[in-house]
Structure 1
Amino acid sequence: MKTLPLIADKLKCAMGMDMATVGSSLIERVVRERMAALEIDDDGRYLARLHGSAAELQALIELAVVPETWFFRDREAILAAARLAYERLALQPEVPVRILSLPCSSGEEPYSLAMALLDAGVLPGQFVIDAYDIRTRSLEIAAAGLYGRNSFRGHDLDFRDRHFTPLAQGWQLHQAIRQQVRFAPGNLLAPDFLRYAAPYDFIFCRNVLIYFEREVQRQVVALLESLMKPDALIFVGPAEGGILLSPRLQSAGIALAFGFRKRVALERPARRELVGVAALPPVTLPGAARQAGSVQPAASAASSRLPFTPGEAAVSGAASPSLLEQARLLADQGQLAQAAALCEQAIGEQGASAEAFYLQGLIHDADGDAELAQRCYRKVLYLEPQHQAALLHLAALLQATGDAAGAERMRQRAGRVSPAEENHRD
């Protein structure tokens, strides 16, 4: 297709999609699908149609964007935002927490945030979530709030029992959750996008920057920075941490959440004066520990606790962090080489373990080394064939390299992991 580079340039200008990243085969496939729908057999004629029709450009974008999301994906970031929102409201209950989700796809991410906040004891009037996406079909799905099996992955689906009604067509999200999210179409690259918006406390912009070339990444990061309150946090995908690190932004130090904040001295009370996780009301967020007759934190200690800081062990009586815990914190701060070295040291001193190989996989994933990341996830699965998180990460990597069949096999294996098997490892 001789006009493919020109069509790819059109998509790149409209939505930042770089053909070098997503591959020419994807773009050619969606172009041929649109040409067939329009009964156009000449790609030059289609290019002319594309240049002259905003509606056709949007139709092509609708096909080119392939949503891949589910409820409570990247659980650590979602639970961290819920916990920190609760803490902020404990200090300033009169100031509603503002959260931005973009791109929001078909709504699973912003709805997960709404469920997490409400389950953590935040009142409906104490937060708002704005959600934007360039794909109008995704927004229609989000507005309907009706989801199929593919939107529910993982071993802990208690939230589905609390917040959804089962129907013949799937699961209908309760109106109490749906009304907490405001959906709207939006293009990150549009010159006027959110130009006059009030700043946010938490911004979720996960797994989209990796599809942009460097200059577009800088443009989007500058936009996100302009939308941050002084103490706001941005959460990005595991492979995007290096894009955020700059003289203006630094890691928030929340293990495996890939959160970043501005490099400013924040006015905060001492840690011991904050309302901590242990002070939250009893909740049952996905992955939360549960014991009869006891008050449990909103998330497991491994996934959402505040980062270890010097002197904390002396204050709390806790043991020093293990090598793998130190590696997690270094990885979240963008110090990937040091984190990888600590993983190797842990394996050398303590022997091979699924936990260590899984963390290595995340580190290589964040460093953009897909081949090494795949090797690590496969080592995890050799030791623990039912390691659901490794299965899902491996599926994402296989999908990105064009192995759709292999990705689907991994997703099917992950879907067959029972709650008992996953909880046994936790």
Structure 2
Amino acid sequence: MKSLPQIAGKLKAAMGLDMATVGARLIERVVRERMGLLALDDDSQYLAVLLTSETELQALIELAVVPETWFFRDREAMLAVARLARERLAERPGEVVRILSLPCSTGEEPYSLAMALCDAGVTPAQFQIDAIDIRTRSLEIAAQGIYGRNSFRGQDLAFRDRHFDPCEGAWQVHEQIRRQVRFAPGNLLAPDFMRHAQAYHLILCRNVLIYFERDVQQQVVALLVNLMAEDGHLFVGPAEGGIVLGSVLESAGIPLAFGFRRRKDGAAAASPASVSRPVAPATVMPRWARTVPSTRADTVSPPVAGPAPALQPSLLQQARALADRGQLERAGSLCEQAVQEQGPSAEAFYLQGLIFDADGNAAQAQRCYRKALYLDPAHQAALLHLAALLQAQGDAAGAQRMRLRAQRTSQPGEGGHD
């Protein structure tokens, strides 16, 4: 396709999607699909249509954006939002907590937030979620609130019993949860995007920055900072911490949630070295956990036997609990202990990967995710976390392979209804 670079350039200008990031084959595939629908056999003719039709540009964007999400993906961020909202309301009882989910895809993220808030005791009158996406088809699916099996992953699905009704082989979100989310179309790169929006207390913009070039990343981060309340929080994907960390934002100190807040007065700006993802020894405590008393890895006590062995938390459950409290060194040691005593498992290596990710140790995180995938090639979370790491390291082809594997392991047609 001789006109593919110009077509890709138009997409990049419109939504920041870089052909070098997602791969030429993806762009060519969606262009050929649109050409077929328009009965065009010359890509130069298609380029002419694209340059003169906003409708066609939107149609191409709809195909180029491939949603990949599920309920309570990266649960730690959802629970952190609920906790921060509850704490905020305890200090300001009359306030309405404003939350932004951007991009919201087919709605699983904002609905998960609404469910987490309700489960945490926050009443519907105390919060409002705005959910924005560039893809109108995704918004239509989100508004219906009907989801198939592919939107429910992992073992803990108790939330589905609490917040969904069965619906002809699928599940529909309860109306009360749907009312808490306001969906709207929007483009992060539009000049007037949310120019007059009221500030948000909590913003989630996860796993999108990695698809942009550096200048666009900084443009979007500046936009998000402008949308944040002075005491607000921003949550990004695991591989995006180095993108937002700098002179304006610092870690919020919420392990495994990848949350950030404005730097306090007098705080030193991050150096260029700290903005990158350093390869550090596994025993180095992260910045936000150093105030937490820690036991050295070589002195970790074995789990204390409870009165009923069946009720004793597993080593991995203990490790996750420690990681959630910021004790990443001890959590990592328990993962190692679980592997030594119980044998290798995908979940143990995946949790180790998350811990290394939270500690900024990209190389070790990548190794652990690959070990998890060796034992369980269909481990969705490990595939997507590894894809994000590879994307952040500039390996677009490797990231695309991981995302394609994740898509192939999903059962077709069982996400939001098309």
Query: What TM-score, normalized to structure 2?
Result: 0.76
The one-letter amino acid of 2:76's match is E
Distance 1:172 1:140 in 2: 14
1:185-264 alignment, distance < 5 Å: 185-264=185-264
Q: In 1, are the aligned partners of 2:23 and 2:400 still within 8 Å (CA)? A: no
Hey, what does 1:400 align to over in structure 2?
399
The one-letter amino acid of 2:159's match is F
1:111-122 alignment, distance < 5 Å: 111-122=111-122
Distance 1:399 1:160 in 2: 34
RMSD between superposed Cα atoms in Å: 3.7
Find the residue that maps to 1:402 and give its secondary structure.
helix
User: Alpha carbons of 1:356 and 1:146: their partners in 2 closer, same or farther (altered >3 Å)?
Assistant: closer
User: Alpha carbons of 1:388 and 1:206: their partners in 2 closer, same or farther (altered >3 Å)?
Assistant: closer
Distance 1:247 1:320 in 2: 32
Residue among 348, 362, 369 paired with 1:377: 369
Moved more, 168-177 or 394-403: 394-403
Hey, what does 2:41 align to over in structure 1?
41
Hey, what does 2:86 align to over in structure 1?
86
Find the residue that maps to 1:95 and give its secondary structure.
coil
User: Alpha carbons of 1:411 and 1:378: their partners in 2 closer, same or farther (altered >3 Å)?
Assistant: farther
User: Alpha carbons of 1:198 and 1:322: their partners in 2 closer, same or farther (altered >3 Å)?
Assistant: farther
Find the residue that maps to 2:401 and give its secondary structure.
coil
Distance 1:2 1:142 in 2: 37
Q: In 2, are the aligned partners of 1:253 and 1:329 still within 8 Å (CA)? A: no
Hey, what does 1:109 align to over in structure 2?
109
Find the residue that maps to 1:401 and give its secondary structure.
helix
Hey, what does 2:51 align to over in structure 1?
51
Distance 1:215 1:386 in 2: 35
1:8-407 alignment, distance < 5 Å: 8-264=8-264, 308=289, 310=291, 313=293, 320=295, 357-358=349-350, 361-362=353-354, 373=365, 375-380=367-372, 389-390=381-382, 393=385, 400-402=399-401, 406-407=405-406
Once the two structures are superposed, residues 285-307 of structure 1 have per-residue CA deviations (whole angstroms, 9 ceiling, x without a partner) of xxxxxxxxxxxxxxxxxxxxxx6
RCO comparison, higher one (Cα < 8 Å, 6+):
2
Unaligned runs of at least 5 residues, structure 2: 267-287, 299-318, 391-396
Moved more, 389-398 or 134-143: 389-398
User: Alpha carbons of 1:30 and 1:8: their partners in 2 closer, same or farther (altered >3 Å)?
Assistant: same
Find the residue that maps to 1:230 and give its secondary structure.
strand
The one-letter amino acid of 1:97's match is V
Distance 1:104 1:55 in 2: 21
The one-letter amino acid of 1:401's match is Q
User: Alpha carbons of 1:45 and 1:389: their partners in 2 closer, same or farther (altered >3 Å)?
Assistant: closer
Q: In 2, are the aligned partners of 1:381 and 1:387 still within 8 Å (CA)? A: yes
Q: In 2, are the aligned partners of 1:233 and 1:260 still within 8 Å (CA)? A: yes
Once the two structures are superposed, residues 124-152 of structure 1 have per-residue CA deviations (whole angstroms, 9 ceiling, x without a partner) of 11001011000000000011111111111
Q: In 1, are the aligned partners of 2:378 and 2:406 still within 8 Å (CA)? A: no
Distance 1:360 1:160 in 2: 28
The one-letter amino acid of 1:40's match is L
Percent of matched pairs sharing the same residue: 66
Distance 1:62 1:187 in 2: 12
Q: In 1, are the aligned partners of 2:76 and 2:257 still within 8 Å (CA)? A: yes
User: Alpha carbons of 1:383 and 1:149: their partners in 2 closer, same or farther (altered >3 Å)?
Assistant: closer
Find the residue that maps to 2:230 and give its secondary structure.
strand
Query: What TM-score, normalized to structure 1?
Result: 0.74
Distance 1:97 1:207 in 2: 23
Distance 1:14 1:2 in 2: 20
Find the residue that maps to 1:128 and give its secondary structure.
strand
Q: In 1, are the aligned partners of 2:146 and 2:171 still within 8 Å (CA)? A: yes
Q: In 2, are the aligned partners of 1:96 and 1:125 still within 8 Å (CA)? A: yes
Moved more, 398-407 or 76-85: 398-407
Find the residue that maps to 1:219 and give its secondary structure.
helix
User: How many residues are paired up?
Assistant: 360
Once the two structures are superposed, residues 47-79 of structure 1 have per-residue CA deviations (whole angstroms, 9 ceiling, x without a partner) of 000000000000000000000000100100000
Distance 1:394 1:245 in 2: 21
